[in-house]
Amino acid sequence: MSKRRIAAVALFLAVGLSGCTTPTAEPAPVAETSSPSPSVTAEPQATAIVVGGTEMSIEFDDDSSETLAYSSDPEAAVAALTEAFGAEPVVTDVPEKSCAAAETTSAWDDFVLFRDSGYLPDGQLFGVRATGSTPLPVEASDGSVLGEDNTSIFEATDDRHKFELESEGVVNTRTYLDLQDYADDDVLYQENPKTDDIAWGGATDAKDGIVWRIGAPFPFKDC
């Protein structure tokens, strides 16, 4: 791994998905506006959510699925997920803060749909991220499953589409999902030197082999 790539990776691990380039003071707290806690409307109508770099799908027990591109209507996606989970989401208007754009989120436990965010890649209208507890199993398009070991998937992934870094005794790994606007000799988190576009897609993050976050679409650059 090049020194340049290692530096970008270390930066990411230090600050999460947004990646500040320099430490900045946190702004004064701004209250977030949330709807009431979600109420269960019915039994979940789906069996799993699969997150890819450009689209997600809702899987059903009859082997059918519903695909939602991140460039499609966010309201339709919220409605589809509400039916899939069998519960209304908690809707929150999150103000802008250091290295994080303002956004509106719809959350079902730790499965979050975000929109109205300057962090979304061009042309994408919403995104999703899953951590911790989710109403249904959440998988990545590479086969990784939230909360499960993905060591074999990581090892089978092309070296250009993953990284590994040990920090404070913990092995942090990431696999990229369906990278867009990306050339194989590019360094992620930097502007694409060939097209001046920003590489973007999905990501699966793990600690000591256990997947703790799956999400998309994210622009892979410093904020």
The alpha carbon dihedral of 100, 108, 58, 160 has a sign of: positive
Number of H helices, E strands in the chain: 3, 13
Report the C-alpha gap between 32 and 216 in whole angstroms.
23
pLDDT over 60 (residue 15): no
**Where does the pLDDT of residue 192 fall: very low under 50, low under 70, confident under 90, or very high at 90 and above?**
very low
Please state the length of the chain. 223
**Where does the pLDDT of residue 160 fall: very low under 50, low under 70, confident under 90, or very high at 90 and above?**
confident
Q: Which residues are CB-neighbours of 40 under 8 A, at least 6 positions away?
A: 86, 87
pLDDT over 70 (residue 57): yes
Mean pLDDT, residues 21-34 taken together = 39
Per-residue pLDDT tens over the stretch 67-93: 999 999 999 999 999 999 999 999 999
Place of tokens 């519960």: 87
Kindly report the pTM of this predicted structure. 0.79
Mean pLDDT, residues 174-189 taken together = 75
Mean pLDDT, residues 176-194 taken together = 64
Mean pLDDT, residues 8-30 taken together = 38
Q: Among residues 153, 150, 129, 132, which one has the least CA distance to residue 210?
A: 150
pLDDT over 70 (residue 35): no
Give 144-182 as a DSSP string: -BTTSB-HHHHHHS-GGGEEEEEETTEEEEEEEEEEES-
Domain borders along the chain are: 3-18+43-219
Torsion, Cα of 121, 122, 123, 125 (10° steps): 50
- Single-letter amino acid code for the residue at 187: V
**Lowest-confidence pick of 33-37, 51-55, 115-119, 135-139:** 33-37
**89 φ/ψ angles, rounded to the nearest 5 degrees:** -85, 160
**End-to-end alpha-carbon separation of the chain, Å?**
23
Tell me the average pLDDT of the chain: 80
Report the C-alpha gap between 43 and 45 in whole angstroms.
6
Per-residue pLDDT tens over the stretch 129-153: 999 999 999 999 999 999 999 999 9
Q: 17 burial class (0-12, 13-18, 19+ CB within 10 angstroms)?
A: middle
pLDDT over 60 (residue 117): yes
Place of tokens 């998988």: 139
Order the strands of the 48-51 sheet from edge to edge: 65-69, 55-59, 48-51, 138-140
Report the percent of the chain where pLDDT is more than 70.
73
User: What pLDDT is stored for residue 65 in this prediction?
Assistant: 95
**Angle at 67 (CA atoms; ends 61, 69), nearest 5 degrees:** 155
